[in-house]
Structure 1
Amino acid sequence: MDVDFVITEFEVGGAERTLARLAIGLQQKGNSVRVYSIGRLPTAEDGDGRDQLVRALRDNDVMLESADATSVREFPMAAWRLRRWIQQRPAAVCQTFLFHANTLTNVFAKPLQASGPRVAGIRVADPSRWRCAMERRALRQVDHVICVSNAVERFTHQHLGLSADQTSVIGNSVDVDHFATAPPMDWRTFGWDADADVVLFVGRLHPQKNLGLLQSTLDQFAPLGSNRKLVMVGMGPLRAELASWSEAVSGDRVRVLPWRADVASLLAGCRVLVLPSHYEGMPNVVLEAMAAGKPVVCSLVEGSEELIGNDPHQGFAAGDSAVMTAKLNQFLDDRSLSDRVGRSNQLRMREEFSVQGMVDQYRELYAKLGGE
């Protein structure tokens, strides 16, 4: 089966990691897989290992090309290049990932029809009106939509006008061994004690993540004079603002770091991961923290709630700073609870979120849709 994937960009984000695992898994099963990035591909010259997914695909003989677009203004050029790429080899299945890829492929490149079904992926429940309007237009051109969680599927029915027979749910996956065996970060490299109790956030520094909740409650979970710290890792529009805030915080309690290749070690060294988002899809960083054997404290929004299940220790209503702080403190105060919940999380990842299981689900759905 020939499979084409189109994605908005190929930075090291959650959707990109999922696509890389899927593409490599399908290629290893004997499929012929190509990946097309609308945005410029990261290179080794960018530093920090941001080209790791590019290297992984090429090392596994997955064909990878890019439109080299750097802004929405370059959409017409990107659509023209995408047309030429698809014409080289009409695929049995063409799957798009993320909003801009869904839109470009199924609206701006609409005249191009793959020989087999077109499939779109919805990975976040973004309620903004303009985005929903564009997504509805794009999804009218596809044969099926894969949602990353049950909550996102409900969102597509309610906000994007899709019916139940037009959608399926296939969750993300995680390489448990990679995170379970990572060496823990030595916090002394930050100038802190080796046994610092670190609350870790990893993700896009964007209003979606509701990071103001961490800023406003810092003194409650990492008070001045304690051995507790907050580390925030990521890129995004709030980076400069958060960096200025962290420098003004007394007591050397906060670090705001750019994207790093050693996220697995940061997770291994932290006490708890926090994710206070307003909305999500199925956040990969929660899967990765659970795979690392760590507890998480996350808002009960799309995908996150499905990952932590019925555990009473790990979830809080979005925006509820008091409950978030209480749940962070329970793990910071009680190492035995932290370890017990972490072990349970890791077992859940092994049993229910394996990479092989995800690949098999996609392959079976493609075959059902007529891909082979």
Structure 2
Amino acid sequence: MKEKVAIVHVVHRFDTGGLENGMVNLINRLDPSVYRHSIVTMKGHSELFAERIKTDNVTFYDLAKGNGQDLGIFLRLNRLLKTLRPDVLHTRNTATLEMQLVGWWRRVPLRIHGEHGWDVNDMHGSNPRYQKLRRFMRRFVHQWVALSVEARDYLLNTIGVAPERVNHICNGVDIQRFSPQPSTDSDSLVVGCVGRLAAVKNHTMLATAFVDAWHYARERNTTLKLHLIGDGDCRGAVEKILIDGGCIKDCWLAGNRSDVPDLMGQMDVFVLPSLAEGISNTILEAMASGLPVVATAVGGNVELVQHEQSGFLVDVDAGALATALKRYVDEPALIQQQGQCARQLAEEKFSIDAMTAAYDGLYRSH
């Protein structure tokens, strides 16, 4: 009997997030009779989030990285790879890129690195130190995965990766799990966002824009509500803006949740105010849920949202975001019109089957 392809996935932490959600979707759909997966984390994993994986061919390992420089992490990964003997080492984002050195040392047959999105310290790949790191690591990585066109062009033109080693694989969405649902709050217009409350996600700008739009809606006898799904370091700052703006009573900061499809069913409009973004799983999930999407015109957002058709692309500016939200107050028919367009785009262009097939072909290429 042929032995399964052994893949070691290395991530900073396996917890609520778009990158990790994409991994869940991929692992759940790759043939378990062909693959076995090891998820290696630098900083542990969430047991609750890990429950989203429905296959029984996955094992977790934690390298328990210390704060700051922890050179021992290379030795710990070396021992682990010596035991696991993977066919594929797949690291994701800058925090794990150096782990490819260990894969090279252990002669892992296929070494893949994925660029999923930008960090707040590396907006659009502009950090010179990280550029030098990526250029240095070119010799140790066989194949690179760019989720967005922006990331693909960055690898080709800025980092100098050879075209035959760059794979543009867009995220896919489960259009059965995420689908349009009838509104449960017909008396209000519910604006929603799902994601980590981290600086790069820019929820403070969303809060500022919502305060403006909320007062505008009140003057027009419309109740505007905000649902924020997710948690993180910026929660306190977001809450303060909403409290000071006088609208906290119409806001729900739900924290991390596992029932995102149901919660999206309670929204009318989805907003993603990121400073930088790859291919956002939450935008795709919102589109599949039949929601119009208002997103900042950064990174992969411009590949997903068709301006004025499936939502609005706006500048990274609270005033511009508030103006877009006010459009839905004044023209509520736009919600259904753009939501239907978003759902159609999700069905036709962002198939999860196409994403899985692309990764399947890449993993088998070793």
Normalization by structure 2: what TM-score?
0.86
Aligned 1:1-372 pairs, distance under 5 A? 1-28=5-32, 30-43=34-47, 51-52=48-49, 54-57=50-53, 59-69=54-64, 71-73=66-68, 75-103=70-98, 105-107=99-101, 110-114=104-108, 116-125=109-118, 126=123, 127-180=126-179, 195-223=187-215, 225=218, 226-251=222-247, 252-309=249-306, 311-312=308-309, 314-367=311-364, 370-371=365-366
Partner SS, residue 76 of structure 2 = helix
Read off the aligned partner of 1:121 and give its amino acid letter.
Answer: G
On the 8 A contact 1:68/1:78 being kept in 2, the answer is yes
Q: Could you tell me how far 1:247 is from its partner in structure 2?
A: 2.9
Q: Aligned equivalents of 1:72 and 1:27: distance in 2?
A: 37
Read off the aligned partner of 1:229 and give its amino acid letter.
Answer: K
Read off the aligned partner of 1:111 and give its amino acid letter.
Answer: W
Q: Aligned equivalents of 1:274 and 1:196: distance in 2?
A: 16
On the 8 A contact 1:25/1:359 being kept in 2, the answer is yes
On the 8 A contact 2:6/2:37 being kept in 1, the answer is yes
Read off the aligned partner of 2:111 and give its amino acid letter.
Answer: R
Q: Aligned equivalents of 1:133 and 1:315: distance in 2?
A: 36
| Percent of residue pairs identical | 23
- May I ask how many residue pairs the two structures share in their alignment? 351
Q: Aligned equivalents of 1:337 and 1:182: distance in 2?
A: 17
Q: Could you tell me how far 1:79 is from its partner in structure 2?
A: 2.8
Normalization by structure 1: what TM-score?
0.85
Q: Could you tell me how far 1:71 is from its partner in structure 2?
A: 4.4
Relative to structure 1, the CA distance from residue 72 to residue 357 in structure 2 (aligned partners, 3 Å threshold; closer, same or farther) is farther
Q: Identify the residue that residue 191 of structure 1 maps to in structure 2.
A: none
Read off the aligned partner of 1:55 and give its amino acid letter.
Answer: E
Q: Could you tell me how far 1:68 is from its partner in structure 2?
A: 5.0
Read off the aligned partner of 1:354 and give its amino acid letter.
Answer: S
Q: Could you tell me how far 1:179 is from its partner in structure 2?
A: 1.6
Structure 1 unaligned runs (5+)? 44-50, 188-193
Q: Could you tell me how far 1:12 is from its partner in structure 2?
A: 2.0
Q: Could you tell me how far 1:334 is from its partner in structure 2?
A: 2.9
Q: Aligned equivalents of 1:108 and 1:318: distance in 2?
A: 41
Q: Aligned equivalents of 1:208 and 1:18: distance in 2?
A: 19
On the 8 A contact 2:302/2:313 being kept in 1, the answer is no
Read off the aligned partner of 1:245 and give its amino acid letter.
Answer: I
Q: Could you tell me how far 1:27 is from its partner in structure 2?
A: 3.5
Q: Aligned equivalents of 1:152 and 1:340: distance in 2?
A: 31
Alpha-carbon RMSD across the aligned residues, in angstroms, is 2.5
On the 8 A contact 1:199/1:229 being kept in 2, the answer is yes
Q: Aligned equivalents of 1:76 and 1:110: distance in 2?
A: 17
Q: Aligned equivalents of 2:69 and 2:28: distance in 1?
A: 29
Relative to structure 1, the CA distance from residue 238 to residue 152 in structure 2 (aligned partners, 3 Å threshold; closer, same or farther) is same
Q: Could you tell me how far 1:339 is from its partner in structure 2?
A: 1.0
Q: Aligned equivalents of 1:26 and 1:85: distance in 2?
A: 23
Q: Aligned equivalents of 1:62 and 1:73: distance in 2?
A: 33
Q: Aligned equivalents of 1:99 and 1:239: distance in 2?
A: 25
